[in-house]
Amino acid sequence: MNQNPESTDCQADGLPEVQPIEMPSIVKLDQDGSFRTWAESVHRELVSLQADRVVDTKIPRPAEDDARYTRWREWSITIRSWLFAQLTNDMMDYVLVFYRQQVEKGAIPRYADEVFHLIERASNALTGEAPAAISSFWEARRNQFPTVKDYIIAWRAAVEDLHENDQAISPYMATQIMFSELKSDMPLLIKTLVKKGRGREPSMKFHEFLSIGDLLISSSM
């Protein structure tokens, strides 16, 4: 495909060539934190890399035939991953739940501007106390329970509460989080399940999530 000359007034303006760099860490955003303060830290770090325009949804992306499109895409994907890494685990879970509430199907946004805007919208929705169902969801972590069985029962209840309170998380996402929490307890079983494709289908149904939980409980006893 022939590339057009560089267009003006887009996210690729002033963007340096992609080089192997280690993105700096900042204070992670949690559900009680200030998005504005966090965003200022994000902006400061990106300005130092000449990449701050990449997270601004008000600035258009470069066209695919722009000579700098590949450079912009690589930067955007890198910054997207970095943004997620600057969230606490609880905030990450909340952002994913918030996204699934807004968009029932589809992958998490691929580019940095969409992700930054998603985090902003999710943070703005956290006014006052979070709904009890979401609070339970945050609190249902393996290290809070004495046994695998206790954790899975609590986790399934938390996921069901989200559904009942119109804060649904997909069975696929619920399964992935459950696998992540239990990988230290039963690494071989989870590795085997993943290898067999269990819990890896984004379109999986709720009963499949429950079935996997039953299998994990029976294997832990």
Q: Using alpha carbons, list the distances in angstroms from residue 187 to 22, 192, 207, 221.
A: 30, 9, 23, 15
Distance of alpha carbon 173 from the chain centroid: 10
- Number of residues assigned to the chain: 221
Domain that holds residue 140: 132-220
Residues 107, 153, single domain; the answer is: no
Q: Do both 109 and 182 map to the same domain?
A: no
Count of structural domains within the chain: 2
pLDDT on residue 165: 62
Give the Cα separation of 74 and 191 in Å (integer). Answer: 30
What pLDDT is recorded for position 131?
Answer: 56
pLDDT along the chain (221 residues), means of 10: 59 86 89 89 94 92 92 94 94 85 68 92 68 67 90 88 68 86 91 85 82 90 78
Paired tokens of 78: 């890198």
Q: Which helix (H) or strand (E) holds 215?
A: helix 206-220
pTM over 0.85: no
Shared domain for 96 and 46, answered yes or no, is yes
- Whether 108 and 170 map to the same domain: the answer is no
HSE-CB for 200 with a 13 A CA cutoff: 9
Residues 50, 109 within the same domain: yes
pLDDT for res 2: 47
Q: Which of 75, 108, 124 is the last residue of a domain?
A: 124
The residue from 68, 89, 124 where one domain ends is 124
Residues 117 and 43 in one domain: yes
Predicted pLDDT of residue 128: 45
Is there a single domain that holds both residue 63 and residue 120? yes
Tell me how far apart the 2 most distant CA atoms of the chain are, in Å.
64
